[in-house]
A and B are shown apart, each in its own frame.
Chain A
Amino acid sequence: MVLCFIAAAVLGILALFSARYRPLAKEAWNCVFKKVTLRPCESDLEDSLKARTVAMLLNASPRAARLVNNNFKLLSWALVLLTLASFALVAQGFYNYLQYGNCNGPLSNEFCIFDPFGSGKHEITSLVAPGVGPTTGNGTLTLVEFGCFSCPYTKQAEPTLKQLVAEGKITLEFRFFPLPSHDKSRDAAGAAACAIEQGKFWEYHDLLFSKPTTGFSRENFTAWAANLSMDELTFSECLSSGRGEEIVKKDFDAGVKAGIYGTPTFFTANSSIVGPGPLAEYFGLQQAGGAGACPPPRDIA
């Protein structure tokens, strides 16, 4: 009778589109209802489904038909477990969609069935105050940047930021927001966080943006730190201890809480700016780089 449950779900969906499946779906639901209400279900549904499946296979492969016929109970259980797992994943996806605007989790840019056209939940829910991350420049306007070292849009914002810092218009504060979908972005953020300990964050930050992301590896992170005259042992120990990771995690959580949906995201005291294009616009500069941000739109993933 275990098959009644899976049949009710599968046939229920098929019955929405085809009248052919409606009698079977009705029988399956009736069986499920009886089971749930602890009444006996004397339906032939399981035998019918088994017979139909095995008969189909008999024409194609008698061996496969025998296998299914002899192990139908086992296969039924496997299908039930897979169905339950699918339901759990759908539920998780739905939760993610409601919570983050994407069924694949915060900041994923994978296809989401609940949001096929990627309209998603694109809304910064709260502003982030400065005073946590490393800073550079001495402008009166403090700009808090949430960036990812693997994100091409974060990289594209760099010339604008450097210009604004050089002109004394801003004080730039960096917060880590490594995108989960970007390979090694979290490791790179952790390495950069370790550079803070040795007062070399901004040098290391610039260096990471100058390197191709394909070169992101622990060996290279350590070698690049040595190149910047950082103490190699201390740096390695920081990486191993997870101290850098801890800083990154705190930043990331703060970003998620603020509703960040793409990098780079900038916060002033009373506004948020997403992407290098809007940043340039905000400061009345010529637009640098693309108009988007990571992860949306999806084509830059």
Chain B
Amino acid sequence: MDLNKIRKDFPLLEKNVYLDSSATSLCPEPVLAKTGEYYREYKANIHRGAHRLSERATNEYEAVYEKLAHFTGGKPEDYFHTKNATEAINLVALGMDWKKNANVVTTSIEHHSNYLPWLRLRKRGTLSELRATKPHDKQGNFDLEDFKTQIDSHTQLVAITGCSNVLGVKPPVKEITQIAHDAGALVLVDAAQWAGHAQVDFERLGVDFAAFSGHKMLAPSGTGVLYHASEFITPMIGGGMITSVTLDDYALMPAPQGEEAGTPNIAGVIGLGAAIDYLSKISLAEVESHEKQLVKMLLEVLLDVKADVYGPIDASEKAGLVAFNLGSLPAHQVAVMADQLEKVCIRSGHHCAMPLHQALGVKGSVRASVHVYNNEADIQAFSRAISKISSLA
């Protein structure tokens, strides 16, 4: 992996130390070029026109299903495009055929996107119960035994993160899926912090649903993906997805076209395809290994200044992000100062995981997260900023 060459593809890095990829990642030049190419050379709607531009747009768009199947497993028709992971999860929540007395089992380390859709269903009475497993220990490691006690014959879905956006831990999705299936429950995995950072194959994992965001894996904003191996009824219906409509009836096209209502984010999806190409060319194993190296350095910096680090402090057990606090300094203040001092962009707040922060006993935390384009100099800049700021704590 030629990091210097990679960094040249991200012009934003020239003047910024970007350590906020868990919120959204940067886009490399090939992705920007591919997105721009659609607007400049063949901007047309898909599946609707017979002219050359529409044909090219349709081909480019549909090729992304194929790319997704290679990238995260399964068949092209298992995928459909959303605007983000949140929308993908909501579509499942709204589209599933919920049984009477059904419950959903999730965890207390979830992003709000994988908690609120279920919570709302419970509040509306669609679900009889929403059960959240507790993190097992201080590092937030998953307790399979606790999980087993939560699941029962009424559990219709297990909704679990593939990687916590605060703790950086990865629950054992394969084992969880096995236990859930044995109990007759389906499994949805929120892979927003997982896809694009490490090799993942949803089909091999056996999950029924998976959601992730393109914009967190080098693709343009407004791109998300829903993987679904199980039957699924899209809650949205309209143009671009039917074979016939009469005044009394309609017939949908087969998946995935029959699932995506209206004109999608064509340029964004084509950009997502370019991002998949970009990451695949580097190889996700390389990306993961690189991120682990950087996280190791981040942890060293933070442990050196005696920061409160949340989640595992062993880089081998952690994804490419570290959440922490510096004594009693407000997280927001730390983030603003890091930006002021060294142009280091890090995230502060509850990271859309308020229940987790409540469990941790803090209002919020600071989060540094990396991607394939970060280098040692970025961590050194982070180190300089944090060393200065920690002198205030």
Contacts and interface: CB of A to CB of B under 8 A. Distances in A.
B389 A58 contact: yes
Interface stretch (A6-14, A49-57, A86-94, A256-264): A49-57
Nearest to B342: A55
Contacts of A58: 337, 341, 388-389, 391-392
Given A55-B341, A58-B337, A44 B388 contact: no
Interface in A41-69: 44, 47-48, 50-52, 54-56, 58-59, 62, 65-66, 69
Interface of A is mostly: helix
Interface string B332-358: 111111001100000000000000000
Given A62-B388, A62-B391, A47 B332 contact: yes
B330 interface: yes
Interface string B290-328: 000000000000000000000000000000000000000
B330 A47 contact: yes
B336 A55 contact: yes
Nearest to A69: B392
B337 A51 contact: yes
Contacts of B340: 51-52, 55-56
Contacts of A54: 333, 337, 392
A65 B329 CA distance: 13
Interface string A90-111: 0000000000000000000000
Interface string B375-393: 0000000000000110110
A47 B337 CA distance: 10
A197 to B, nearest CB: 70
Contacts of A50: 333
A44 B363 CA distance: 14
A76 to B, nearest CB: 14
A50 B392 CA distance: 12
B170 to A, nearest CB: 31
Contacts of A69: 392
A40 to B, nearest CB: 16
A56 B336 CA distance: 11
Interface residues of B, number: 13
A165 B271 CA distance: 101
B172 to A, nearest CB: 37
A48 B332 CA distance: 7
Contacts of A65: 391-392
Contacts of B389: 55, 58
Nearest to A70: B392
A52 B336 contact: yes
A31 to B, nearest CB: 15
Contacts of A47: 330, 332-333, 336
A168 B74 CA distance: 122
A50 B332 CA distance: 10
A66 B332 contact: no
Contacts of B341: 55, 58-59
A62 B392 CA distance: 8
A105 B332 CA distance: 48
A299 B332 CA distance: 55
Interface in B125-170: none
Nearest to B341: A55
Contact of B392 (A44, A48, A52, A66): A66
Given A58-B341, A59-B341, A51 B336 contact: yes
Nearest to B332: A47
A54 B337 CA distance: 8
B213 to A, nearest CB: 25
Contacts of A59: 341, 388
Given A56-B340, A58-B341, A51 B333 contact: yes
B336 A48 contact: yes
Given A51-B340, A55-B340, A44 B391 contact: no
Interface string A112-146: 00000000000000000000000000000000000
A233 B170 CA distance: 100
Contacts of B333: 47, 50-51, 54
A75 to B, nearest CB: 15
B19 to A, nearest CB: 17
A52 B391 CA distance: 16
Interface in B15-30: none
Given A62-B388, A69-B392, A44 B337 contact: no
Interface of A: 44, 47-48, 50-52, 54-56, 58-59, 62, 65-66, 69
Q: Which 9 A-B pairs have the closest CB atoms?
A: A51-B336, A55-B340, A55-B337, A51-B333, A47-B332, A51-B337, A69-B392, A58-B388, A47-B333
Given A54-B392, A62-B388, 16 more contacts: A47-B330, A48-B332, A50-B333, A51-B332, A51-B333, A51-B335, A51-B336, A54-B337, A55-B336, A55-B337, A55-B340, A58-B389, A58-B392, A59-B388, A62-B391, A66-B391
21 contacts: A47-B333, A47-B336, A48-B336, A51-B336, A51-B340, A52-B336, A52-B340, A54-B333, A55-B341, A56-B340, A58-B337, A58-B389, A58-B391, A58-B392, A59-B388, A62-B388, A62-B391, A65-B391, A65-B392, A66-B391, A69-B392
